[in-house]
């Protein structure tokens, strides 16, 4: 029995449009930053913040751990690539080649069928943004981040850099120096957004960086599901993604943040995500990492309020030439907080998967509970799979458990399936999909299908 999933078009992620832009800066200097700020016609405070971030970037050193980043040469990265269009509110107005790319990725179709709003970024700027009218009536704001800076300056100032400070690490300083695009979401008190919003980030320009900023505030008693997708065609040059996601979940609020990342395999994905969760609030992270040459991604949850909760469900799939260093950070900073982590990884064809985490239970987080489970699957012996979890317990009133497993596909399971008339190749693929199932079942249907497709794509010709 063959899988019932749709056949995958191998090329949809690799569509290359002509490298056309209306404006472009290369490198990272004060002059470049002033140029970006001027083009964006930004308020002075934002330029000052960018220049301060550049100074911090130059002061901070490169990480002494994790994957090799020596191929990254900031003097060659296009730090700002303005597409040849402004933001549109109708797909019909988006230039044809750009629209075709998003069509192939299924974004407009998904918008019609299952989303409450869509943002589509192409290189450094959002080219399309929409939100359903009924959400606007309820006071929900969903707009591109550049527009938010101008239209909601007080709200932006109140939250911008407050979750992820400029000094967090070198690549976040870089982000703040050259950020462009991204989404801004505000869900007012008590409003439940039942249908997800989605932002899709597409990087087309070779040798470019994408530095979008996403800021989401889920106010008291409100709830939101937000989906983020990313992809790029493959070039020979190194591309860079150093985005930033700042999330705030207020008292009794709920946020599910899902990411399907399929950057091309020349991408350095050095992204930063962080959430601050208040009393009784919940953050759920669902993440699938398939693409990029190098990823360093550790979403951080700060459980600041009593009874706040964090659930993390993630999968990484590293193939040839990929080094995916992913994991999470959680700080339990209030009584009765809880976190549940379920992480899986698959390595094949020389790919490297590393699960890296730091979970802290602060002295005041009495009666907190932490449960971590990691599973890794190796599909051959030229690949690597490492688990590097730090567990930091600073109080006795805590239940902390961490377990991890590493191994291969069971020969017995393959043999069993083959006795049922299933080919060895399909049997292995079924087992890998089964392994990933706890993650894919957490995604909306379309994205679960996309993830399964990505798994099929990755497995093609690699096993069996």
Residues 50-79 that bind another protein (CB under 8 A): 63-66
Which one of residues 16, 34, 402, 433 is an interface residue with another protein (CB under 8 A)? 402
Q: What angle do CA 184, 231, 378 make, to 5 degrees?
A: 120
**DSSP structural state of residue 405:** E
424: its two tokens: 């060895």
Q: How far is the CB of 374 from another protein (least distance, A)?
A: 8
Q: How far is the CB of 308 from another protein (least distance, A)?
A: 20
Q: How far is the CB of 324 from another protein (least distance, A)?
A: 14
The verdict on 358 binding another protein (CB under 8 A) reads yes
Q: Are 228 and 257 in contact (CB under 8 A)?
A: yes
Which one of residues 30, 73, 93, 397 is an interface residue with another protein (CB under 8 A)? 397
Where do we find the tokens 């939101």? 224
**DSSP structural state of residue 6:** P
Which one of residues 404, 418, 445, 464 is an interface residue with another protein (CB under 8 A)? 404
The verdict on 464 binding another protein (CB under 8 A) reads no
Stretch that binds another protein, among 151-159, 272-280, 398-406, 444-452 (CB under 8 A): 398-406
Task: Name the packing angle between helices 44-59 and 30-39 (round to 10°).
Answer: 150
Q: Are 189 and 100 in contact (CB under 8 A)?
A: no
Q: How far is the CB of 166 from another protein (least distance, A)?
A: 16
The verdict on 379 binding another protein (CB under 8 A) reads yes
Q: How many residues bind another protein (CB under 8 A)?
A: 39
Q: Are 264 and 290 in contact (CB under 8 A)?
A: no
Q: How far is the CB of 311 from another protein (least distance, A)?
A: 20
**Site mask, another protein, residues 407-426, x = CB under 8 A?**
xx------------------
Distance (Å) of CA 334 to CA 27, 284, 371? 43, 18, 17
Which one of residues 93, 399, 424, 460 is an interface residue with another protein (CB under 8 A)? 399
- Cα separation, 165 vs 167, whole angstroms: 5
| Secondary structure (H, E, C), 19-67 | CCCCEEEECCCHHHHHHHHHHCCCCHHHHHHHHHHHHHHHHCCCCCCCC
Q: Give Cα 435 to chain centroid, integer Å.
A: 21
Provide the H-helix boundaries in 81-132.
Answer: 96-104, 107-114
Q: Are 344 and 436 in contact (CB under 8 A)?
A: yes
Q: How far is the CB of 63 from another protein (least distance, A)?
A: 7
Query: Which CB, 81 or 296, lies closer to another protein?
Result: 296
Stretch that binds another protein, among 28-36, 219-227, 313-321, 374-382 (CB under 8 A): 374-382
Which one of residues 106, 220, 400, 457 is an interface residue with another protein (CB under 8 A)? 400
According to DSSP, the β-strands at 300-303 and 338-347 are unpaired
Residues 262-291 that bind another protein (CB under 8 A): none
Stretch that binds another protein, among 137-145, 263-271, 402-410, 447-455 (CB under 8 A): 402-410
Q: How far is the CB of 3 from another protein (least distance, A)?
A: 24
Which one of residues 59, 405, 424, 434 is an interface residue with another protein (CB under 8 A)? 405
What's the residue count for the chain?
464
Contact residues toward another protein (CB under 8 A) are 63-66, 356, 358, 363, 376, 378-408
């Amino acid at each position: 029995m063959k899988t019932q999933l749709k056949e995958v078009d191998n090329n949809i992620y690799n569509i290359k449009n002509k490298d056309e832009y209306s404006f472009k800066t290369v490198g990272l200097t004060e002059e470049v930053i002033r140029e970006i700020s001027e083009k964006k016609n930004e308020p002075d405070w934002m330029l000052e913040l960018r220049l301060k971030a550049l100074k911090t970037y130059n002061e901070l050193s490169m990480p002494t751990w994790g994957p090799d980043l020596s191929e990254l040469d900031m003097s060659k990265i296009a730090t700002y690539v303005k597409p040849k269009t402004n933001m549109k509110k109708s797909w019909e107005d988006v230039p044809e080649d750009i629209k075709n790319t998003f069509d192939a990725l299924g974004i407009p179709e998904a918008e019609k069928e299952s989303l409450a709003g869509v943002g589509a970024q192409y290189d450094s700027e959002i080219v399309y943004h929409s939100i359903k009218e009924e959400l606007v009536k309820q006071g929900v704001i969903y707009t591109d981040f550049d527009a938010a800076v101008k239209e909601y300056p007080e709200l932006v100032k109140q939250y911008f850099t407050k979750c992820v400070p400029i000094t967090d690490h070198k690549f976040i300083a870089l982000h703040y120096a050259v950020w462009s695009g991204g989404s801004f979401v505000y869900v007012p008190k008590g409003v439940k957004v039942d249908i997800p919003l989605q932002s899709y980030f597409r990087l087309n320009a070779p040798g470019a960086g994408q530095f979008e900023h996403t800021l989401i505030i889920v106010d008291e008693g409100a709830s939101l599901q937000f989906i983020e997708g990313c992809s790029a065609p493959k070039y020979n040059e190194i591309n860079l993604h150093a985005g930033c996601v700042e999330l705030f979940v207020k008292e009794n609020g709920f946020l599910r943040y899902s990411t399907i990342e399929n950057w091309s395999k020349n991408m350095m994905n050095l992204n930063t995500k962080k959430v601050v969760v208040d009393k009784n609030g919940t953050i759920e992270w669902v993440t699938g990492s398939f693409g990029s040459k190098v990823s360093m991604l550790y979403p951080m949850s700060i459980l600041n309020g009593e009874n706040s909760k964090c659930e993390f469900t993630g999968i990484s799939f590293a193939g040839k030439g990929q080094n995916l260093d992913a994991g999470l950070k959680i700080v339990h900073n209030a009584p009765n907080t809880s976190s549940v982590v379920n992480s899986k990884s698959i390595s094949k064809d020389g790919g490297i998967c590393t699960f890296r985490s730091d979970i802290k239970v602060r002295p005041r987080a009495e009666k907190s509970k932490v449960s971590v489970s990691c599973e890794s699957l190796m599909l051959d012996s030229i690949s690597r799979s490492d688990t590097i979890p730090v567990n930091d317990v600073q109080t006795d009133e805590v239940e902390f458990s961490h377990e991890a497993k590493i191994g291969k596909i069971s020969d017995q399971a393959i043999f069993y399936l083959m006795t049922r008339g299933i080919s060895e190749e399909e049997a292995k693929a079924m087992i890998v999909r089964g392994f990933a199932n706890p993650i894919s079942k957490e995604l909306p249907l379309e994205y679960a299908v996309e993830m399964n497709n990505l798994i099929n794509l990755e497995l093609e010709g690699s096993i069996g």
